[in-house]
Structure 1
Amino acid sequence: MPAASSFPALPLVTIVALCHNHASFIAEALDSVAAQTYSNLEVWLVDDASTDGSQALLRQYADQHPDWHLLLLPENVGNCRAFNQAFFQSRGAFVIDFATDDVLLPERVARQVAFLQQQGPRCGMAYHDCALIDAQGRYLRNYYQRDAAGRIVKPVPASGEVFAEVLRRYFICTPSMMMRRETLLELGGYDETLAYEDFDFWVRASRNWEFHFQDELLTRRRRLAQSMSSRAYRPGDPYVASTIRTCRRALALCQTSDERAALATRLRWELRQAVRFRHRAEAWQLYDLLAQTGSVTLQDKALSVLSKLLK
């Protein structure tokens, strides 16, 4: 048997555990981090100015785990900036952006590190299936619909170059991501001018890096009534401006007519939502971007006329 020193060292994995008013879920979330079978972990507990007692709970976990890092932000700065403040102090070769209302299954890190390494150095991010749960932790469904034999019904663009698919539709379950450190560094971390991070990360990272899908269920994602998706285009939606900015950035990154057509598919959907919820200014911006893709239809033109009638 070879000496222990001859075995390759496990790469360090950073888990940035982001909290904002997650007091009801912190214990389950952080217990799932502590229960990981993977040993070489660097954990950052980051609280984005919670007001519900979360900070006291995070202090308790930091006391119980002296090797974990605790970062309590004095004012709310949003997910992107809060994540970056921990990321740029971290050292992990691979990084997980972990919301403290979700749950990691015990083999999550170990299985995902092994998978990501198998894909080679151009794999900038790996992702997998999640079990969706409600506020009480009850199972709702899997993120990817499966048939009776457990096979995913709608094919996932699992391997390699997925830039066009990222533009066309949402297909990645965000809490399942493990990102390569070099990928995040190349992007300068998350864009702190945006209200949310995942769409922009997918667009910018997939231009130069491969994404790979791992057909396993390794995370439980909590669906809450106040989630981002439930607020999209409703009054006070803080995310729509970031979506438009990311779409504008995506257009600049497009290199082929197929990629521009893929972006047009997304813009067309966003335009319909803007008109549906009477966002006149946003509808105009989205139609202008759609026109720049060269894929405007008669229906799109009709929507642009309708948007001008909105109050």
Structure 2
Amino acid sequence: MPTASQPLVTIVALCHNHARFLETALDSILTQTYPQLEVFLVDDASTDDSPAILRRYAAAHPGWHLRLLPANVGNCQAFNSAFREAQGEFIIDFATDDVLLPDRVMQQVAAFAEAGPRCGMVYSDAELIDEAGRFVRRHFRRDAHGQLHPRPASGAVFAEVLARYFISTPTMLMRCATLAQLNGYDETLAYEDFDFWVRASRDWDFYFLDAVTTQKRLHPQSMSSKGYRPHDPYLLSTIKVCRKAQVLCRTPAERAALAVRVRWELRQAARHRNFPEARELYRLLRELRAVRPLDWLVGAVLSVI
């Protein structure tokens, strides 16, 4: 039974056409050294052999909850379908092309205890692996002595998550109360992590655990491989989150941090010829009163395309 020192942790294993990686991912749940786990297997209408593999694992582990969605609804809605039933104090959004290292949950639960009740999310370093499981590099760059420069942010990180990408999404352990306060993921979005970082960090602390807890798989079908290119499927969601952040900003420093993000997204959108989205980002940059000479030049070009 869960205790104060070993609270229940829910793992939501989300699958969409991950058959070739799925057994490795599910076996990594079984090798966790932390005993108090609740597991949901959620298949988002896969068209490969994933449902058969999931059925086999669910039959072998009757305590696991199997959800085979009849239609593809996307990561946010698929995750929420399990989150609404979750009983854990903490929760992992686990894409089943990735791998949990054995001490992942144990280490992160201990980090939550150290961070205290205002902590809404613990994240860590990750190993990036290729399709065959071979090591590529770590998420965070380190010096010759293994030290991080700068050390990833902990505590009140709202401005940091506005300005730059630094959190390895697959490493996150979230507090369920934090997600409940946000009403789960925003199901109108094509992806979840930037929106969670912005909304959660407004009122909750984040904590960086200096350990490698997860292997993130790099392959052409992964979500992260589809952004920052022509017809970017995530750009409209990014703009929507930036608009949310604009409302949440309270200080000039926070608005300046948001301008850094918007400027980056604007230049990427223009570079990849996503012109309608680039125009909307330029409008937002003007509203933030943060247009610089090069931004003005980009805006001038957009006005005649």
**Residue type of the alignment partner of 1:116:** F
C-alpha distance in 2 between matches for 1:194 and 1:161: 25
**Residue type of the alignment partner of 1:19:** C
* 1:222 lines up with 2:217 in the alignment: yes
Q: Is the Cα contact below 8 Å between 1:104 and 1:219 reproduced in 2?
A: yes
TM-score by length of 1: 0.95
Shift of 1:153: 3.1
* 1:78 lines up with 2:79 in the alignment: no
User: 1:84-105 CA distances to partner (integer Å, 9 max, x unpaired)?
Assistant: 0000011000000000011011
Task: Quote the sequence identity (%).
Answer: 60
**Residue type of the alignment partner of 1:253:** L
Please show how residues 100-179 of structure 1 align to structure 2 within 5 Å.
Answer: 100-157=96-153, 159-179=154-174
C-alpha distance in 2 between matches for 1:53 and 1:134: 21
Q: Which residue of 2 aligns with 1:67?
A: 63
C-alpha distance in 2 between matches for 1:229 and 1:307: 27
1:203 aligned to 198, 203, 219, which one? Answer: 198
Q: Is the Cα contact below 8 Å between 2:120 and 2:175 reproduced in 1?
A: yes
Shift of 1:8: 4.4
1:57 aligned to 53, 66, 69, which one? Answer: 53
Q: Which residue of 2 aligns with 1:28?
A: 24
TM-score by length of 2: 0.97
Q: Is the Cα contact below 8 Å between 1:62 and 1:68 reproduced in 2?
A: yes
Q: Is the Cα contact below 8 Å between 1:233 and 1:279 reproduced in 2?
A: no
Q: Which residue of 2 aligns with 1:39?
A: 35
1:62 aligned counterpart, secondary structure: helix
1:196 aligned counterpart, secondary structure: coil
User: 1:97-137 CA distances to partner (integer Å, 9 max, x unpaired)?
Assistant: 00001101111001100111111000000000000000100
Q: Which residue of 2 aligns with 1:280?
A: 275
Give the RMSD, CA atoms, in angstroms. 1.3
Aligned length: 304
2:182 aligned to 184, 187, 192, which one? Answer: 187
2:220 aligned counterpart, secondary structure: coil
Q: Which residue of 1 aligns with 2:299?
A: 304
Mark the runs of 5 or more structure 1 residues left unpaired by the alignment. Answer: none
Distance 1:229 1:39, change over 3 A: closer
Report the more deviating stretch, 234-243 or 73-82. Answer: 234-243
Q: Is the Cα contact below 8 Å between 1:145 and 1:154 reproduced in 2?
A: no
C-alpha distance in 1 between matches for 2:275 and 2:184: 32
